[in-house]
Structure 1
């Protein structure tokens, strides 16, 4: 068997089922992956950055040498508490660690033989919706007209000009109503006239307003290195839906194999290069003519729920193989014939669930690959 350098999974969430399942798949293939909350907490030891006029930059410690191959920069967080320090020193230590790691992450292009999934600077930039749409425009992708604003007059003009418009928050937010105890989440929704009546409300919170695509289905494309896995998402009924995540949360979503034209795949590959990403979950809306409209790419998106709905897509194997080989042109044969269903039936999953059940609250143990933030 080929000897691979150890992959490093950076996720600070103990309830991250994606990190747990990928580590399990790697170990099932004889590859011992490291799972750490941040580089500060890595079992690999301390890090140092060196720079001088003669030799330039070099790193030593955790990211030096041949010990670590690919790094999955998934849900990394800076250290927040320091048990051995005085209370008055906590803020100083948080600041110093944050700045130190910011330097480390800014230099991830140093040592080009190490694959980052994704590079922290590229990941941060790709979180911006308009950066994505600018790149989509450059790559020739079709996408709906979009306004990002908190100007009531601009928002009203946009809706009047385009008719049916969808409001989207920058990030999904979930909260608990103090009086009823019910849980609520912000998802995409059609803009209704009453939503535009109050200037103060619109001024108070900027939002994303996008022309609604009269779609036949959603196409979820999981880009893992050079491979693009497409799944068509539908509701269990014939009624239309704006945001498939609402249906997913109530188990009303189904999937079937999707098709991505060679032209669209080439444009999506160009988009990923433009954004500097090697992994991303891409959402496309397919209209009645079969044309694909780009909506967004989530550079740290969830993908196990797709394999849960459509077991024929080897998403867990693909991510694990890319991390094992440390290259985007990986071979699935690198990883044993394992699946997300196998992981859910494993002892490691049972152990993960025992630890994660409190933070996952009322979710099912096989939570369709969802990670709660």
Structure 2
């Protein structure tokens, strides 16, 4: 595929290249960032697992003189960054006998765990984000602990499967919402589709002890919100977008549900200085260089922290508000391998340009036929 160098740079200029780890062939975020990097003279490697033939095998060296160091696919001399996007463990091995598969898979799992646990030894390689920090940041309670330490306001929260505790929480706050640990969609026996978006609860929904005990959930005091903020942190840059949605229907208070039917409006805003300082402190406390933060504003325009997704989606934000250069920012940070990157490291590209490029259209035509699993679903994509 052709590459397009940025103005003033007519050839490939860089010895250190980004590595993108994403296990889904249809990952539009990985594809768009690779496209932006190539158009700016970089040669990113996109690998689904550490066993992928697209990358050089990763080796770890340890001795009592120099300690631990990396080489191969994550070599500080050749790798500027590792985007730990959504990788998978190596699973498919064409030349392994069925009787040996469990052994090979387990050995790969342990090798990958060693790489993740010692990633700091890769030296001058930026991880977006470090696997250990990213996994910890996905824990909802650790997020709220960090938010508390950083002085961020957030709704009272209960995680429980105890019916009495849940009802006492409801009585104390009058209006509460339920949300799952992770969004999930499924079909019932009659083919009806359900999805676990955040939903307001009333007293009637909390009467069945058996149902409440069956599955733990996250319960939060409901903020009487005016609008949502989606705050995307890319290294040292913070991009905030306001999302206005219609009044909640059927108890659904999640802006994602409204956006599916085109019922939301987005605009770029400036994050208040005190919140910008607090968000930077939160990122530092969690050890993250990238994150998508959800805030809500109440009827008095006071902001409340809801959660952070350390591997969140961001292209929909640029799609709704084209002036927010998120694709360019992520590509620039990966290219330079540092959080204090310059936007002009990357050519003046956009998500809209990616969607219109024949290269993207050819890529999608290639991957689209094979992305549905045996059950007809697309991995990583909700039914809606």
Query: TM > 0.5 between the two?
Result: yes
Q: CA deviation at 1:371?
A: 5.8
- Equivalent position to 1:372, from 366, 372, 381: 381
Corresponding residue of 1:157: 168
SS of 1:39's equivalent in the other structure is coil
Q: Distance in 1 between matches of 2:105 and 2:174?
A: 48
Q: Distance in 2 between matches of 1:192 and 1:21?
A: 43
Contact map agreement 2:15 2:78 (CA 8 A) in 1: no
Corresponding residue of 1:242: 253
1:138-182 residue CA offsets vs partner (Å, 9 max, x unmatched): 000000000011111111100111110010000111112332x33
Q: Distance in 2 between matches of 1:259 and 1:111?
A: 36
TM-score by length of 1: 0.93
Q: Distance in 2 between matches of 1:330 and 1:310?
A: 22
1:66-107 residue CA offsets vs partner (Å, 9 max, x unmatched): 221111000111111211111121111111101110000111
Does the C-alpha gap of structure 1 residues 341 and 267 become closer, same or farther in structure 2, counting only changes over 3 Å? same
Cα RMSD (Å): 1.7
Q: Distance in 2 between matches of 1:307 and 1:371?
A: 20
Q: Distance in 1 between matches of 2:298 and 2:334?
A: 35
Q: Distance in 2 between matches of 1:153 and 1:267?
A: 35
Contact map agreement 1:187 1:243 (CA 8 A) in 2: yes
Corresponding residue of 1:33: 44
Corresponding residue of 1:138: 149
Corresponding residue of 1:17: 28
Does the C-alpha gap of structure 1 residues 4 and 278 become closer, same or farther in structure 2, counting only changes over 3 Å? farther
Q: CA deviation at 1:290?
A: 1.5
SS of 1:268's equivalent in the other structure is helix
Unaligned runs of 5+ in 1: 362-369
Q: CA deviation at 1:195?
A: 2.1
Q: CA deviation at 1:111?
A: 3.0
Contact map agreement 2:178 2:201 (CA 8 A) in 1: yes
- Equivalent position to 2:275, from 260, 264, 274: 264
1:292-321 residue CA offsets vs partner (Å, 9 max, x unmatched): 100000000000001000001000000000
SS of 2:116's equivalent in the other structure is helix
Contact map agreement 2:17 2:81 (CA 8 A) in 1: yes
Q: Does 1:295 align with 2:306?
A: yes
Q: Distance in 1 between matches of 2:129 and 2:262?
A: 30
Q: CA deviation at 1:192?
A: 2.4
Unaligned runs of 5+ in 2: 1-8, 373-378
Q: Distance in 2 between matches of 1:42 and 1:65?
A: 20
Corresponding residue of 2:220: 210
TM-score by length of 2: 0.91
Matches within 5 A, 1:178-189: 178-179=189-190, 181-189=191-199
Q: Distance in 2 between matches of 1:310 and 1:358?
A: 30
- Equivalent position to 1:83, from 94, 109, 127: 94
Does the C-alpha gap of structure 1 residues 35 and 153 become closer, same or farther in structure 2, counting only changes over 3 Å? same
Q: CA deviation at 1:65?
A: 4.3
Q: Distance in 2 between matches of 1:105 and 1:91?
A: 21
- Equivalent position to 2:243, from 228, 233, 254: 233
Spell out structure 1 runs of 4+ moving beyond 6 A: none
Corresponding residue of 1:113: 124
Contact map agreement 2:47 2:55 (CA 8 A) in 1: no
1:41-69 residue CA offsets vs partner (Å, 9 max, x unmatched): 15332222221222211222211242211
Does the C-alpha gap of structure 1 residues 166 and 358 become closer, same or farther in structure 2, counting only changes over 3 Å? farther
Q: CA deviation at 1:286?
A: 0.7
Q: Distance in 1 between matches of 2:345 and 2:368?
A: 32
Q: Distance in 2 between matches of 1:61 and 1:274?
A: 31
Corresponding residue of 1:128: 139
Greater mean alpha carbon deviation, residues 132-141 or residues 26-35: 26-35
Q: CA deviation at 1:288?
A: 1.7
Contact map agreement 2:288 2:310 (CA 8 A) in 1: yes
SS of 2:122's equivalent in the other structure is coil
1:231-279 residue CA offsets vs partner (Å, 9 max, x unmatched): 00012x4557610110122222220112211110000000000000000
Corresponding residue of 1:366: none
Q: Distance in 1 between matches of 2:264 and 2:192?
A: 22
- Equivalent position to 1:308, from 316, 319, 329: 319
Matches within 5 A, 1:311-350: 311-350=322-361
Contact map agreement 2:156 2:220 (CA 8 A) in 1: yes
- Equivalent position to 1:274, from 282, 285, 295: 285
